[in-house]
Structure 1
Amino acid sequence: MLIVPEREIADLMTREAAFAAVEKVFAAMAADDAYNFPVVREAIGHEDALYGFKGGFDRSGLTLGLKAGGYWPNNLEERGMINHQSTVFLFDPNTGRAKAMVGGNLLTALRTAAASSVSIRHLAREDARVIGMVGAGHQATFQLRAALEQRDFDKVIGWNLHPEMLPNLEKVAAEASLPFEAVELEGMREADVIVSITSSFAPILLADHVSQGCHIACMGTDTRGKQEVAPELLAKATVFTDEVAQSVSIGEAQHAVAAGLIRADDITQLGAVIGGTHTGRSSAEEITLFDGTGVGLQDLAVAAAVVDLAVEKGIAIEVDF
């Protein structure tokens, strides 16, 4: 079995490689060449932690495995480590033997950012110039860096429940030589693209906060009860997702479906746009929304790419297992 430790990931996986891996696996999912297993996600009753498993099998890429991990909210303050902790395990689909164990913390951040970035590439207007960020935590910086590579943006605007965190976004904007402006939620009407990345359990972004022609990537809702945007916004938009089953059960669409505002049949896999079986955006005025729930196949795709790179560079640790 091969081991790629967390400490090696930053020197192996780039945003470009993560984008390519996620885009490819989304297309495979829409073509029924890859599928995800049911998600297990539980509050364990210790340290206020959420722990679970995401897995799947990609027939086209012969990638089989799972990611184990979750969210420990006390880590940063009490232990000086990030709150999200995970590890990816890959198995040989021909024999079932363990193939690789890969540090999943940075990979999770990169693949989540890649998913919203893929949605921007395929759904945002070509003339999008202002990007809005709802949320300014650790993951938001990954989201913004990846998003800025997809359009010729000339301004970043941002909102966060705790405004003292907004310099995180301002720093990334400065890296790209772009101006940054802190706004109230009503100010998001200026944005051509909005990325929401919070851990909210109540709607933050409302339908009247979004202008016609905007593309929204909702990336924070991945658990029952979580919610970043008002259900009425999904009813107003054309909704895309990574996986429909997760979208309606643990994603942003769970609330709109429960309210009877949309149905599962109204939601399209982003992979169908990538694969050319759906046209995607149909007009400059259309509001498009990507419900990024985070599927196991994303984790497996980026982990498999990292293993290949680690072997190529002689970094992978081989153990008899």
Structure 2
Amino acid sequence: MAEGLLIVNEAACEAVVTRGAAFAAVESTFAAMATGEAWNFPVVREALGHADALYGFKSGFDRAGMALGVKSGGYWPGNAAKGLTNHQSTVFLFDPDTGQLAALVGGNYLTAIRTAAASSVSIAHLARPDAKVIGMVGAGHQSAFQLRAALEQRDFEKVVAWNPHPDMLPRLQAVAEEAGLPFEGVEREELGAQADVIITITSAFEPLLMRDWIKPGTHLACMGTDTKGKQEVDPAILTAATVFTDEVAQSITIGEAQHAVGHGLMGEGDITPIGAVINGTHPGRTSEAEITLFDGTGVGLQDLAVAQVAAKLAEEQGKAQRIAL
């Protein structure tokens, strides 16, 4: 191992970590989690009582990928008005053999691209092969990352979207247009009627999609619920669906499944790690009419996986700095 501390800033991360690289890293991590080769440590996530911010730590160890570290950061809702992204974070990577700090990696771009990679992994493994219309619920900063990644997983022919503030929809329209696809802003019920794949990426604390709006065969990737109390969809959707997640423990406590589980509508055993589908130990979708749902809670191992890729590539390409400790 090289001596000193590697520093990889946001610009370097954006320059070297592609959607394809993020997809491969996250898919491998989910697979390792399902076999017990990688595991996340308990999440710390607290309201600061200042700037309406949520702050916390996500960490873990992937023995298969030899990634050890922690992501420190959170959500500052007032940042957009300051010209900053609301999510702010940094990843600390450690040498698994010695415990020495090995790298500091900017986490803002990586958080967005690894979250998008998680939903696109779910689409790749669970959506119907003939899915043609993708629906986006939410048009914030991360929505564009989500849509770009998703469009690479199926031969989509149209994008439909809804956001509580319609003036933000042009962000998604621009992504659709760059992909050469028609775009339509619609109401939520119409979105459910049209979409074969739906991604929710909001900070909602109430259901935005109801069970009756979801047609047979739909795949949903619920990516916004990562804190106790948050909610994006009707719990009845989960009971009607085959539910998959990044990590079951987080799904039932801080993920979308917390509400269905809390109301006694489903249990821990009703949720499957998506790594089991990747590894071939679970069949995934078993019929065209089956509704599938991925509860993407966001795990520390995703951050470590993409940060490790960023550190390796940035150093190889001369885009990182190394300083003495």
Question: Within 5 A, what are the aligned runs for 1:36-51?
Answer: 36-51=40-55
Amino acid in structure 2 at the alignment position of 1:84: H
User: How much has 1:68 moved relative to structure 2?
Assistant: 0.2
Q: Quote the Cα distance in structure 2 between the aligned partners of 1:14 and 1:7.
A: 13
Q: Quote the Cα distance in structure 2 between the aligned partners of 1:173 and 1:51.
A: 33
Q: Quote the Cα distance in structure 1 between the aligned partners of 2:318 and 2:136.
A: 39
Q: Percent identity?
A: 67
Map of 2:257 onto structure 1: 253
User: How much has 1:54 moved relative to structure 2?
Assistant: 0.2
Please state if 1:125 is matched with 2:128. Answer: yes
Correspondence for 2:150 among 134, 147, 151: 147
Q: Quote the Cα distance in structure 2 between the aligned partners of 1:76 and 1:194.
A: 26
**Structure 1 alignment gaps of length 5 or more:** none
Please state if 1:181 is matched with 2:192. Answer: no
Map of 2:175 onto structure 1: 172
Q: Quote the Cα distance in structure 2 between the aligned partners of 1:46 and 1:319.
A: 33
Q: Quote the Cα distance in structure 2 between the aligned partners of 1:9 and 1:144.
A: 20
Instruction: Give the total of aligned pairs.
Output: 320
Q: Quote the Cα distance in structure 2 between the aligned partners of 1:318 and 1:165.
A: 40
- Superposition TM-score, scaled by structure 2 size: 0.98
User: How much has 1:6 moved relative to structure 2?
Assistant: 1.2
Q: Quote the Cα distance in structure 1 between the aligned partners of 2:66 and 2:176.
A: 38
User: How much has 1:255 moved relative to structure 2?
Assistant: 0.2
- Give secondary structure in 2 for the equivalent of 1:278: coil
Q: Quote the Cα distance in structure 1 between the aligned partners of 2:187 and 2:98.
A: 55
Please state if 1:159 is matched with 2:162. Answer: yes
Please state if 1:5 is matched with 2:9. Answer: yes
Correspondence for 2:102 among 87, 99, 103: 99
Q: Quote the Cα distance in structure 1 between the aligned partners of 2:221 and 2:233.
A: 10
User: How much has 1:300 moved relative to structure 2?
Assistant: 0.1
Q: Quote the Cα distance in structure 1 between the aligned partners of 2:219 and 2:77.
A: 30
Map Cα deviations across residues 31-69 of structure 1 (whole Å, 9 max, x no partner): 100000000000011111000000000001111000000
Question: Within 5 A, what are the aligned runs for 1:253-292?
Answer: 253-292=257-296
User: How much has 1:314 moved relative to structure 2?
Assistant: 1.7
Please state if 1:15 is matched with 2:19. Answer: yes
Amino acid in structure 2 at the alignment position of 1:156: V
- Superposition TM-score, scaled by structure 1 size: 0.99
Q: Quote the Cα distance in structure 2 between the aligned partners of 1:74 and 1:133.
A: 24
User: How much has 1:19 moved relative to structure 2?
Assistant: 0.3
**Structure 2 alignment gaps of length 5 or more:** none
- Give secondary structure in 1 for the equivalent of 2:236: helix
Correspondence for 2:309 among 305, 315, 318: 305
Map Cα deviations across residues 140-197 of structure 1 (whole Å, 9 max, x no partner): 1100000000000000000111111111111110000000111111112211000000
Question: Within 5 A, what are the aligned runs for 1:69-108?
Answer: 69-77=73-81, 79-108=82-111
Map of 1:226 onto structure 2: 230
Map Cα deviations across residues 200-227 of structure 1 (whole Å, 9 max, x no partner): 0011111111100000000000000000
Map Cα deviations across residues 62-93 of structure 1 (whole Å, 9 max, x no partner): 1100000000111111x211111000000001
- List 4+ stretches of structure 1 deviating above 4 A: none
Q: Quote the Cα distance in structure 1 between the aligned partners of 2:65 and 2:80.
A: 36
Q: Quote the Cα distance in structure 1 between the aligned partners of 2:179 and 2:115.
A: 20
Amino acid in structure 1 at the alignment position of 2:55: Y
